[in-house]
Amino acid sequence: MNEKLDYAQLGLKVGLEVHQQLDTHTKLFCHCKPELFKEEPEITFLRRLRPTQSELGQIDPAAYFEFQKGVKILYEANSQTSCLVEMDEEPPHPLNMEAVEIALTAALMMKATPVDEIHVMRKTVIDGSNTTGFQRTCVIAINGTIKVGEKTVPIQHISLEEDAARKTGEEGTTIRYRIDRLGIPLIEVATAPVINTPKEAGGVALAIGKILRATGKVKRGLGTIRQDLNISIKGGALTEIKGVQELELIPLVVEYEVQRQLNLIKISQELAKAGVRPENLKEEFFDVTEVFQQTNCKVLRKAIEKGQRVLAVKLPGFKGFLKRELIPGVRLGTEMADRARFWGRVGGIFHTDELPAYGITSQEVEALRKAVSAQSTDAVVFVADAPENAKDALKAVLERACEALKGVPEETRAANPDGTTRYMRPRPGAARMYPETDIPPIQLTEEYINKIRQNLPELPEQKLQRLMQEYNLNQKLAQQLIDSECTELFEKVAKESQVPPTTIAAFLTETLKSLKREGVKTKNVSESQILEMFKAVASGELAKEALTEVFKWLAQHEGKTLHEAIQSLGLKMLSEKELEEIVEKTIRINKETVEKYRKESFHIIVSSVMREVRGRANPEKVIEIIKKKLEK
């Protein structure tokens, strides 16, 4: 963590887009189940990627490029989770009103203004993740706000979208996608770019996630929520980072992006100082296959044996810059390699900043430099592949080098699980939305909105205050209850069992969490069994110290009753008479100690008795009896 950076001075601006799958009965534009399947697909079909044309007649350059490369998509499906709509063989059905209602609920909780009429739009998507070539999306409400600590964060819009197909593999020019996920309703919440520190970005995402969960109608688990971040700093550029799945990762992703941009700015300044100009970077490719005819580098030898060529390009003045680390594990050379892979569909690149290595000798590096007439301050990048691919790859490297002279390129990047990012595609232009003509607009009447407004769930902040006041819980415990999402069960148990609320709350949060960590199948115990357990505590039938043990037993013996648990564990509560006998026996055994130390012997007797009766007696009762007996 880099605590030293002054983010205000750097002009950091972050906007957040949270995408969360809704827990509806059907998909957004058809009646299929919004679920994923694990089995082998029942149906597969192959499509060629075709560039879609927007109304303005512009063809997305990246889509056109992929089209030229002959990229094919193999879609996998089964009949449970997809139909002709997902295959783009049938027009979409009307918009799912259950999803609309959930989105409106969340929107009203964020004080947003619903639109008068919902218009479904098409957003061009270039990677094959939608069978149609576009994603359907519609704005539900605009201009909301949420409170995060002391700050009011503007929410620009709340929208509904169809989720995309999920990628399951890639072989050569064929990409595999599974269309089960396609069409699952997603709510999109977009903030204004008003977030100024990495930590705040994490806090805002958490606050939005809590509001969405408070609707009670969102899916849970990894992959059901994805956050996109728009990040810029002064003198840098707007970078769009897609697909951060873990909330905890957000601050780190922002921090890395700031670091990346700062390092790229520094590199551009140093290159300028060294006198490197765009006109020095020439689209001149050298066939250097001869240089590596006898090479020990496996990758190169294999390529040459296959009849492929080794092509090289010179980057004047770039020596040393390609190995400069931008963020951990990502160098300027890595960014060039990402571009080469994307635009040339090659496996990777070699560059002189990392050589000799990989079986490439210093003699070969010398020969290479000579072959392209490189000066001592130049870097050389080379690729082994079919000449067309190699050329495209080197063109992309050159372009990235040109951008390095200017500083930070505007691009869309994908988040890695470790918080770093990788190149995904150029940032799409503005003209990528156009109306979906297959779906009629939907009017939102005031009456309909008011009905939803009257049934809004409590905001997490309100609920926190209420739990603290009504049940006298401390803030930490109340927050844990909300986070664990068993507030409803807690309130039911507290109202029906007379057990102190703190005991119930601690059990439902901390105890259950640690049991889960131990591997106890907590789901095997039903809510009504938990209620029954606490009622037994209240009636004196069960000691609260025995709750954990009983719960564990019930989790292991699904279908058995609380009574059976108490019997089987020998936890039947001791009668007062039985307790008195145990206390008397213990005092007898410790007679000498009791007579010698009097008052101080109290603790010894208590711990000795408790060891014997734990879980079968109320500790307060035990202490009362011991006091009484010792006084005699």
Residues of this chain that bind Zn ion (CB under 5 A): 30, 32, 83, 85-86
Least gap, CB of 34 to Zn ion (angstroms) = 10
- Find the angle CA(53)-CA(442)-CA(154) to the nearest 5 degrees: 80
CA distances from 59 to 51, 343, 395, 426, 433 (A): 6, 17, 21, 14, 13
List beta partners, residue 138: 160
CB 104 within 8 Å of CB 141: yes
Least gap, CB of 92 to Zn ion (angstroms) = 9
Question: How many angstroms from the chain centroid is the CA of residue 283?
Answer: 40
Least gap, CB of 158 to Zn ion (angstroms) = 24
DSSP-based three-state secondary structure for 183: coil
**Choice between 31 and 572, CB closer to Zn ion:** 31
**Choice between 182 and 297, CB closer to Zn ion:** 182
**Choice between 29 and 256, CB closer to Zn ion:** 29
Least gap, CB of 86 to Zn ion (angstroms) = 5
Return d(Cα 223, Cα 230) in angstroms, integer. Answer: 20
Least gap, CB of 42 to Zn ion (angstroms) = 14
Element (H, E) at 570: none
Q: Provide the 10 A C-beta neighbour count for residue 260.
A: 23
Return d(Cα 413, Cα 313) in angstroms, integer. Answer: 25
Least gap, CB of 84 to Zn ion (angstroms) = 7
Q: For 430, which DSSP code?
A: S
Angle of helix 601-613 relative to helix 619-631, nearest 10 degrees, comes to 140
**Choice between 90 and 290, CB closer to Zn ion:** 90
The residue among 144, 114, 146 whose CA lies nearest residue 211 is 146
List beta partners, residue 20: 187, 225
Least gap, CB of 185 to Zn ion (angstroms) = 12
Question: How many angstroms from the chain centroid is the CA of residue 627?
Answer: 57
Amino acid at 279: E
The residue among 108, 123, 2, 105 whose CA lies nearest residue 55 is 123
**Choice between 181 and 400, CB closer to Zn ion:** 181
CB 125 within 8 Å of CB 50: no
DSSP-based three-state secondary structure for 87: coil
Angle of helix 198-214 relative to helix 250-273, nearest 10 degrees, comes to 150
**Choice between 32 and 189, CB closer to Zn ion:** 32
**Choice between 31 and 598, CB closer to Zn ion:** 31
Task: Round the CA-based radius of gyration of the chain to a whole number and report it.
Answer: 33
Least gap, CB of 104 to Zn ion (angstroms) = 23
**Choice between 43 and 357, CB closer to Zn ion:** 43
**Choice between 81 and 289, CB closer to Zn ion:** 81
Return d(Cα 449, Cα 381) in angstroms, integer. Answer: 60
Return d(Cα 559, Cα 615) in angstroms, integer. Answer: 23
**Choice between 85 and 493, CB closer to Zn ion:** 85
Least gap, CB of 41 to Zn ion (angstroms) = 15
Return d(Cα 521, Cα 244) in angstroms, integer. Answer: 29
Q: How far apart are the first and last CA of the chain?
A: 64
Least gap, CB of 52 to Zn ion (angstroms) = 21
CB 118 within 8 Å of CB 441: yes
Least gap, CB of 226 to Zn ion (angstroms) = 22
Least gap, CB of 533 to Zn ion (angstroms) = 44
What beta strand segments (E) does 277-396 contain?
286-287, 309-315, 325-327, 330-331, 350-351, 379-385
Least gap, CB of 35 to Zn ion (angstroms) = 12
CB 193 within 8 Å of CB 171: no
Return d(Cα 468, Cα 117) in angstroms, integer. Answer: 41
Element (H, E) at 431: none
Query: According to DSSP H, which parts of 110-196 are helical?
Result: none
